[in-house]
Amino acid sequence: MTEKIGVLGKKSPQRTGVERIVNAPLPTVYGQFRAVGYLDHDRGDEQVALVHGDIGAEGVLTRLHSECLTGDAFGSQHCECGDQLAFALKAVAAEGSGVVIYLRGHEGRGIGLLAKLRAMALQAEGLDTVEANLALGLPVDARDYGVAAGILHDLGVNSVRLMSNNPRKREALVQHGIEVAETVPLLIPPCESNITYLRTKRERLDHVLPHLDAVAHLS
């Protein structure tokens, strides 16, 4: 814990880590959830975990969903994010319990909304998603999952069944003390608008996307 100097010259503690702020009922089209809101004192982001049912501590069905305004809110077909979010919420409701952590600050794999849109413009000119970020002088993936692990710890979760195709999420949770008992694939049928993006995620970012082999006809 770090300290800051108060107005009278006295040192006062500065909060670090993640702090639970509110727990509110959230009825959705997928079922009844609790929206547990957190403040990430390290980055200043407001975060939320959508909790369904009595989750327990072990083997909790869990999705770490990176914020994606274009996909989650606007239905963009440039990516599969919106469909993944809907699938995860449906899966948790069908399971009877689980957690979907919506990670703000992860827009564009952590580069932010405007930078993501600039990268998308470069992709429209022929670069892939990795090349576009690098052309802008930005990291390929700047996301950090420490806050997600902190939220899971606060919720009393020790191990998860992680809905993800990204092995880096599994590695990050393990590094932060969350056991990953199983990785549950989250495979969304591709379309012509996102097939190149998805193939790049498989070939250059190590995402596990075996279903792409069956859609060779897409450009």
Q: Annotated catalytic, 20?
A: no
Q: Annotated catalytic, 42?
A: no
Cα 64 from Cα 107, distance rounded (Å): 13
Q: Check 72, 109, 141, 161 and give the catalytic one.
A: 141
Q: Check 63, 109, 143, 161 and give the catalytic one.
A: 143
Cα 78 from Cα 203, distance rounded (Å): 17
Q: What angle do CA 106, 101, 94 make, to 5 degrees?
A: 135
What DSSP string describes the chain? --EEE-TTS-EEE---SEEEEEEEEEEETTEEEEEEEEEETTT--EEEEEEES---SSSEEEEEEE--HHHHTT--SSSSHHHHHHHHHHHHHHHT-EEEEEETT-HHHHT-HHHHHHHHHHHHTT--HHHHHHHTT--S-----HHHHHHHHHTT--EEEEE-S-HHHHHHHHHTT-EEEEEE---PPP-TTTHHHHHHHHHHH----GGGGGGTT--
- Residues belonging to the active site: 141, 143
